[in-house]
Amino acid sequence: MKRVVNFSIVLSCLYSLSAQQQVQDTLKSGEIILDEVLVSAIRVTRESPVTFTNLTKEQLNPRNLGQDIPILLNFLPSVVTTSDAGAGVGYTGIRVRGSDATRVNVTINGIPYNDSESHGTFWVNLPDFSSSTENLQLQRGVGTSTNGAGAFGASLNVLTDKIADEAFGEVSSSFGSFNTFRNNVKFSTGLMNNAVEVSGRLSRIISDGYVDRASASLDSYFLQGAFRDENTLIKGLLFGGHEITYQAYFGIDAATLATNRTFNPAGQYTDENGTTQFYENEVDNYKQDHAQLHWNQRLDVGWNSSIALHYTRGRGYFEQFREDDSFDTYGFETITVDGEQITETDLIRRRWLDNDFYGTVFSLDHGTDRLKFILGGGYNRYQGDHFGEVIWARYAPANNIGDRYYDDDSSKTDFNIFTKANYKLDDHWSLYGDLQYRTVGYKANGNETGIVDDTFNFFNPKAGLTYDLNANHNFYFSFAVANREPNRNDYENGNPRPESLKDFELGWRYVSPDFQVNTNVFYMRYKDQLVLTGELNDVGAPLRANVGDSYRMGLELDANLRLGEAWEWQPNFAISTNKNIDFVFQRDGVLQKLGNTTISFSPNLIVGNRIAYVPNDAFQMAVLTKYVGKQYMGNIDAESSVLKAYSQTDFNISYQIIPKAIFKSIVFSGLVNNIFDARYVSNGYFFTFDDTFTTPGTTTTIEGAGYYPQAGINFLLGVKVQL
């Protein structure tokens, strides 16, 4: 089952009280507010030589109509997103600079969110989480030291809702194509006695999906209690979700894509009359609950401490109808029916995950006019059970029904400590240093993994230089090292080695009232990179393999231009080359040297564009376009593995009414996705196998591919009423 297992209790002493006043910076995106101390230890500003993009609640709101967080990030630089069900609800994925979600470090209020074993992030477990997101920061490349698994493509840190000074109630509803409905209710007491606030949200999203039967039934909640005074900020949070989604990870072949692009083979079987049927409950059913407690304390002038405790509880299964499965798989003994020996049967099985993730993160910071210093780290532990049950079988010994046919367990500890410093040499030059030590212990047992007992010790240094020419121009250079352990699927796929990365970044930022631009070049050199092979395992999770030496090199640019009083233009593009060096592959039974091949799922060109008309604070409309260049789904540059270049264009509109009575505001929003009805595919898989039967005595390598089609033109309409 592909998923994260997290339920978080968190106590986090928050961060700098100097950040409690609103501070403006000509090269910072927006203001520093009180709640942002939760993420201060892992976020960066223009004083740091790191490539990043900030996105605020105000920027998310017009498009926040029920789609997942990765889809809302689709138009950021170097980002590619996809949806299993084809319309952005249910299982979604994100890649940054060609690196998939297992290589994107995600934190929520500084707490690790990536699954400890798979390293993936499954936003389907937290549906409608964007409605409780205050802002987020996407750091491309290695970025700054953070908690959780190392970043090999990007870091995404999410800050949840800030403390509301005034009480409010809010009801939001949206509906759209494929019978998609989203409803949520939010509230806040506002600050009571100028010290305490309680707020929360309940959400429900349902959708049939673009792909046949790719339905989703998603529930989520968010509850926050906060206390603040002159020197203390304490926040307690409970949030989580329950998802039931019909499986849609099988994809379809090229012939089916051309004739029946919404076809979903999941659950397909042939009944006793020879009729093709689809099992109605071929679903993923998973619950995830998080608790976090954060505590930030001002110790003295310029000194602040932060500590957080967290606990995440995850449990659930996916259910499958299996046709003519072997008794051996389930430990069934051969039985005799009407004089015939039975060794296989139709059955329904559930494969379970039941796990806990808990720990602490902490930081101590000191700031003066010239020096900003942070000491931080965290200790986290994961415990997981993997087991399978047969809940029905056409033929089976009665005492086997409901028994576990496999029962595996795993555990993982993750400790890291880091120190960061930014020192201003003068009014123009700043030095940045960042040192992290991380140790990981992983134990697992299972038929697929075998017995695993590995310990990794990583040292991850980072250094950089920033030059402020004036209040408008800012230049930076950085060098960063990252190391990362294999995930569970890597162990199942072979004998993996940890991977390492050296990341060089050179950038320039310019800000003026009517024009802002960020541009950077990067060179990321990998050793033993675990790249996607293009293949999937039996539960739809992508497989990876070490490839020796490889690199990614490119240029990124994003800009924001005001065109007159009401128009905005926000273009971005990324041009890159992504190569496996001296790649070797066994084809037709012979080991062949293919030279430098393109890394899988790494387009050379990604372009985003937003043109918006914003005549006032109440109204805006925007046209957003995304172009993603040709990709290979494998690493051998095979034409059969090509994912064709595609583009999509969305139209978004929002209008706010301020009534004179009863309601504080009413906001109407509309989103038309893919307005030109492009028939595009954003994801797929590629596989090879050796055929030794067609022509005896010879080996022929057979290639195949599968595709995940995305929806044509579709819409979402919503209204939000605030009391």
- Res. 302 pLDDT band, cuts 50 70 90: confident
Confidence at residue 23, expressed as pLDDT on a 0 to 100 scale = 32
Spatial separation of the C-alpha atoms in residues 408 and 554, rounded to whole Å: 43
Q: What is the pLDDT of residues 469-505, one digit of tens each?
A: 999 999 999 999 999 999 999 998 888 999 999 999 9
Confidence at residue 684, expressed as pLDDT on a 0 to 100 scale = 96
Query: Does residue 590 fall inside a structural domain?
Result: yes
Better pLDDT: 8 or 363: 363
DSSP states of 487-502 as a string? -HHHHHTS----EEEE
Burial (Cβ within 10 Å: 0-12, 13-18, ≥19) of residue 510: middle
Nearest to 307, CA basis, from 160, 148, 110, 21:
110
DSSP states of 199-211 as a string? EEEEEEEEE--SS
In the block, residue with structure tokens 């050379």: 604
Query: Does residue 126 fall inside a structural domain?
Result: yes
Confidence at residue 400, expressed as pLDDT on a 0 to 100 scale = 63
Nearest to 704, CA basis, from 279, 278, 256, 332:
256
Query: Does residue 561 fall inside a structural domain?
Result: yes
Spatial separation of the C-alpha atoms in residues 279 and 268, rounded to whole Å: 6
Check whether 334 has a pLDDT greater than 70.
Answer: yes
Burial (Cβ within 10 Å: 0-12, 13-18, ≥19) of residue 469: exposed
Report how far apart the first and last C-alpha atoms of the chain are (Å, whole number): 42
Spatial separation of the C-alpha atoms in residues 723 and 168, rounded to whole Å: 6
Q: Out of 296-305, 400-409, 631-640, pick the least confident.
A: 400-409
Q: What is the pLDDT of residues 593-617, one digit of tens each?
A: 999 999 999 999 999 999 999 999 9
Query: Does residue 353 fall inside a structural domain?
Result: no
Give whichever of 9-18, 500-509, 540-549 has the largest mean pLDDT. 500-509
Q: What is the pLDDT of residues 508-528, one digit of tens each?
A: 999 999 999 999 999 999 999
Nearest to 390, CA basis, from 421, 352, 430, 440:
352
- Asked whether 640 and 676 are in contact (CB, 8 A), the reply is no
Check whether 666 has a pLDDT greater than 50.
Answer: yes
State which H helix or E strand residue 387 sits in. strand 371-393
Nearest to 93, CA basis, from 61, 67, 56:
67
The total of other beta-carbon atoms located within 10 Å of residue 198's CB is 16
Around 152, how many Cα atoms within 13 Å sit in the side-chain half-sphere?
27
Neighbouring residues of 301: CB distance < 8 A, sequence distance ≥ 6: none
- Res. 34 pLDDT band, cuts 50 70 90: low
Confidence at residue 33, expressed as pLDDT on a 0 to 100 scale = 54
Task: Give how far the C-alpha of residue 389 lies from the chain's centroid of Cα atoms, to the nearest Å.
Answer: 30
Backbone region of residue 359 per phi and psi (left: phi > 0; alpha: psi in -120 to 50; beta: other values): left
Neighbouring residues of 580: CB distance < 8 A, sequence distance ≥ 6: 531, 547, 548, 549, 550, 596, 597, 598, 599, 635
Confidence at residue 36, expressed as pLDDT on a 0 to 100 scale = 77
Query: How many structural domains is the chain composed of?
Result: 1
* 666: amino acid identity, one letter: I
Average pLDDT, the chain: 91
Confidence at residue 41, expressed as pLDDT on a 0 to 100 scale = 86
CA 126, 127, 130, 134 dihedral sign is negative
What torsion do the CA atoms of 56, 14, 47, 24 make, to the nearest 10 degrees?
Answer: 60
Of the chain, the percentage scoring pLDDT greater than 90 comes to: 81
Q: Out of 75-84, 218-227, 441-450, 556-565, pick the least confident.
A: 441-450
Query: Does residue 350 fall inside a structural domain?
Result: no
Task: Give how far the C-alpha of residue 269 lies from the chain's centroid of Cα atoms, to the nearest Å.
Answer: 33
Beta-sheet pairing, 154-160 with 104-108: parallel
CATH number, residue 673 = 2.40.170.20
Which residue range forms the structural domain that includes residue 682?
A: 17-277+293-345+368-722
Cα–Cα distances in angstroms (integers) from residue 288 to residues 127, 313, 454, in the given order: 11, 6, 27
Q: What is the pLDDT of residues 679-705, one digit of tens each?
A: 999 999 999 988 777 778 788 889 999
Spatial separation of the C-alpha atoms in residues 708 and 249, rounded to whole Å: 8
Check whether 425 has a pLDDT greater than 60.
Answer: yes
Burial (Cβ within 10 Å: 0-12, 13-18, ≥19) of residue 195: exposed
Neighbouring residues of 273: CB distance < 8 A, sequence distance ≥ 6: none
Q: What is the pLDDT of residues 358-392, one digit of tens each?
A: 999 999 999 898 999 999 999 999 999 999 999 99
Spatial separation of the C-alpha atoms in residues 294 and 306, rounded to whole Å: 8
Spatial separation of the C-alpha atoms in residues 6 and 125, rounded to whole Å: 9
Q: What is the pLDDT of residues 456-469, one digit of tens each?
A: 999 999 999 999 99
Check whether 128 has a pLDDT greater than 90.
Answer: yes
Confidence at residue 24, expressed as pLDDT on a 0 to 100 scale = 34
Confidence at residue 39, expressed as pLDDT on a 0 to 100 scale = 86
DSSP 8-state symbol, 36: G
Task: Give how far the C-alpha of residue 176 lies from the chain's centroid of Cα atoms, to the nearest Å.
Answer: 24
The total of other beta-carbon atoms located within 10 Å of residue 601's CB is 25
Check whether 7 has a pLDDT greater than 80.
Answer: no
Around 469, how many Cα atoms within 13 Å sit in the side-chain half-sphere?
9
State which H helix or E strand residue 6 sits in. none
- Res. 399 pLDDT band, cuts 50 70 90: low
Confidence at residue 588, expressed as pLDDT on a 0 to 100 scale = 84
Query: Does residue 283 fall inside a structural domain?
Result: no
Partnered with residue 285 across adjacent β-strands are 244, 317
Spatial separation of the C-alpha atoms in residues 433 and 448, rounded to whole Å: 42
Cα–Cα distances in angstroms (integers) from residue 69 to residues 60, 354, 528, in the given order: 9, 25, 30
Burial 39-55 (b: 16+ CB within 10 A, else e): bbbbbbbbbbbbbbbeb
Query: Does residue 625 fall inside a structural domain?
Result: yes
Spatial separation of the C-alpha atoms in residues 404 and 413, rounded to whole Å: 27
Spatial separation of the C-alpha atoms in residues 323 and 647, rounded to whole Å: 39
Check whether 620 has a pLDDT greater than 70.
Answer: yes
- Asked whether 233 and 226 are in contact (CB, 8 A), the reply is yes
Query: Does residue 540 fall inside a structural domain?
Result: yes
- Asked whether 56 and 252 are in contact (CB, 8 A), the reply is no
Q: What does the pLDDT average to over 8-14?
A: 33
Check whether 190 has a pLDDT greater than 50.
Answer: yes
In the block, residue with structure tokens 């957080």: 308
Confidence at residue 37, expressed as pLDDT on a 0 to 100 scale = 78
Check whether 31 has a pLDDT greater than 80.
Answer: no
- Res. 17 pLDDT band, cuts 50 70 90: very low
Confidence at residue 448, expressed as pLDDT on a 0 to 100 scale = 79
